[in-house]
Amino acid sequence: MHVPDGFLDVPTSIATGAIAAGAIGLALHRSGQELRRAGTPLAGLTAVFVFAAQMVNFPVGAGTSGHLIGGALAAILVGPWTAVLCLSVVLLVQGLFFADGGLTALGTNITLMGVVAVLVGYLVARAVVAVLPKRPGSVVAASAAGAFVSVPAAALAFVVLYAVGGAVPVPLGTLAAAMVGWHLVIGIGEAVITAAVVGAVVATRPDLVQLARRSLPPVQLVDAEGRPVAATGAAPTGRSAAGTRGVLAVAASVCLLVAGGVSLLASSHPDGLEFVGESLGFAGSSRDSAVAGSPLADYGLTFLPGAGGAALAGIVGVLLTAALAMLVLSLRRRFAAERGAPDRVDA
């Protein structure tokens, strides 16, 4: 997956660089407290661990072998924000210190493996762990699912980037099928290894696995005779609404960057579906939708032609969607408050 120089054009490389920088900035912000408390050595050693774990090879068939990306693994072990930082540093070090992955493609590589693989892997694992019974074993199954999905997700993200700024016209359907198909196979290996590693850690130190912390029984303080006592001071609570806000913030900033930056580049290119449609010859049969006359039609502001308009239209679209989502959330919160439920929304 380490993309070399020249695979994507310069604007796309710069746009992915901006996405990577934004994601790293957000991760620094979100994990700042954690980093101060646990210390940067911990993050550094986790990065070395990911680096070392990537040396474990597994057979993929046809005489070749794959190796771990470790995005989902790191997210499950130390949490998504620290994992984004660790993976980004690993990729930076691989690019600069080992000439692995192009220098101009560093942003692309961080976006694919350090952001998409980590966040998708973590979100899938969290979703799975939420529906499974609260046992440490569930965390292992969730890790496998997260790791499995993270690999084709990163491959799919590559296809999207290639559709925007690919150097050579390749039928996107073929490319997507080949990339995702191949990486589904690699994903199985990733899932097996990730589950085995997480299983080994859960068996010995479940408290170290970030994803497993919620399924651990709460700490019970006992006095000298072994009688349980009530904890004094602030009891450690689970993740509050701040966690939800963080997810929303990253989603929003990535959307804004993609909408603003990438739609600028996309304006000269038909988008993926249109591209496939044209190559398959059904583009003429599609009709413009009912809102084709609206000011945001075809992702360009009618009163502001050109690339700037496309970027602005993208951003305005995202902001509108976000405002709508906020409205729904606040209505739900008010509804819940009226019914006497706690003033909190679980996303």
Partner 1 sequence: MSGWLSDRGDPAPVAGQHTRDFDGLYLDRETIVHRLPAAAKLLALVSFLLVVVATSVAAWPAFLGYGLLLLLVLGTARLPAPLVARRMLVETPFVVFALLLPFVATGPRVDVGPLSLSHDGLVGGAVLLAKATLGVLAGVLLVSTTRSRELLIGLERLHLPRPMVAIASFMVRYATVVTADLRRMRIARQSRGLTGGGLAQLRYEAAGVGSLFVRSYERGERVHVAMLARGYAGRMPELGSLAARSTPGQWLTAATLPLTAGVVLAVALLLA
Among 16, 104, 111, 143, the residue binding partner 1 under the rule CB under 8 A is: 104
Identify the CA nearest to 31 among candidates 111, 109, 86, 72: 86
Residue 140 near partner 1 by CB under 8 A: no
Total binding residues toward partner 1, as defined by CB under 8 A: 85
Report how far residue 32's alpha carbon sits from residue 43's, in angstroms, rounded to the nearest whole number: 11
Residue 5 near partner 1 by CB under 8 A: yes
- Are 76 and 121 in contact, with CB atoms under 8 Å apart? yes
> What is the residue whose two structure tokens read 């583009």?
283
Residue 95 near partner 1 by CB under 8 A: yes
Per-residue contact string for residues 192-221; x = within reach of partner 1 by CB under 8 A: xx--xxxxxx-xxx--x-------------
Among 15, 24, 125, 276, the residue binding partner 1 under the rule CB under 8 A is: 24
Report how far residue 123's alpha carbon sits from residue 141's, in angstroms, rounded to the nearest whole number: 14
Query: Residues for the chain: how many in total?
Result: 347
* Footprint (CB under 8 A) of partner 1, residues 266-295: 279
Taking the complex as a whole, how short is the minimal distance between the CB of residue 337 and partner 1, in angstroms?
39
Q: Which is nearer to partner 1, 56 or 241 (CB)?
A: 56
Q: Which is nearer to partner 1, 58 or 299 (CB)?
A: 58
Residue 52 near partner 1 by CB under 8 A: yes
Identify the CA nearest to 132 among candidates 145, 118, 119: 145
Taking the complex as a whole, how short is the minimal distance between the CB of residue 114 and partner 1, in angstroms?
12
Q: How many CA atoms lie within 13 A of 164 on its CB side?
A: 22
Which residue stretch of 92-100, 217-225, 264-272, 334-342 sits at the interface with partner 1 (rule: CB under 8 A)?
92-100
Residue 105 backbone zone (phi > 0: left; psi -120 to 50: alpha; other: beta): alpha
